[in-house]
């Protein structure tokens, strides 16, 4: 079954780069996943069709409120992984959160 991961940041721009790295790793590993990036203001658009929300470190302040609003795993991306655009680590973290929620 295809897993769906949403990365959200203030504008959706910096997470777009990380999404591409995550997609590359997923493809190399044969992981069936859809990964998208969006701005914080557009999370509602995706909420019914995703399995996990990963927040850019600049959005850590919103994690608690988003967890109260959505019934799905939500986590802030590690600042070092985000800064290094470590697609593999962020993908693995997202997949673990999805598995832990099933």
9 is catalytic: yes
Least confident of 2-6, 15-19, 24-28: 15-19
pLDDT of residue 101: 75
Report the 3 state secondary structure along the chain.
CCEEEEEEECCCCHHHHHHHHHHHHHHHHCCCEEEEEEEHHHHHHHHHHCCEEEECHHHHHHHHHHHHHCCCCEEECCHHHHHCCCHHHHHHHHHHHHHHCC
- Would you place residue 12 in the very low, low, confident or very high pLDDT band (cuts 50, 70, 90)? low
Map out the domains of the chain as residue ranges: 3-100
Say which of 7, 9, 26, 90 is annotated catalytic.
Answer: 9
The pLDDT value recorded for residue 78 is 96
Distance between CA atoms of residues 81 and 65, nearest Å:
23
41-80 pLDDT, tens digit per residue, is 999 999 899 999 999 999 999 999 999 999 999 999 999 9
Model pLDDT, residue 15: 86
Widest distance between CA atoms in the chain:
35
Q: In CATH terms, is domain 3-100 a member of 3.40.50.2300?
A: yes
């Amino acid at each position: 079954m295809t897993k769906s991961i949403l990365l959200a940041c203030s504008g959706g721009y910096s997470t777009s780069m990380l999404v591409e790295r995550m997609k590359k790793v997923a493809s190399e590993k044969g992981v069936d996943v859809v990964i998208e990036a969006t701005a914080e203001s557009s999370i509602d658009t995706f909420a019914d069709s995703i399995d996990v929300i990963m927040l850019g470190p600049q959005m850590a302040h919103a994690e608690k409120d988003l967890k109260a609003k959505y019934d799905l795993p939500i986590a802030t991306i590690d600042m070092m992984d985000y800064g290094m655009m470590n697609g593999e680590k962020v993908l693995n973290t997202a997949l673990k959160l999805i598995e832990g929620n099933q």
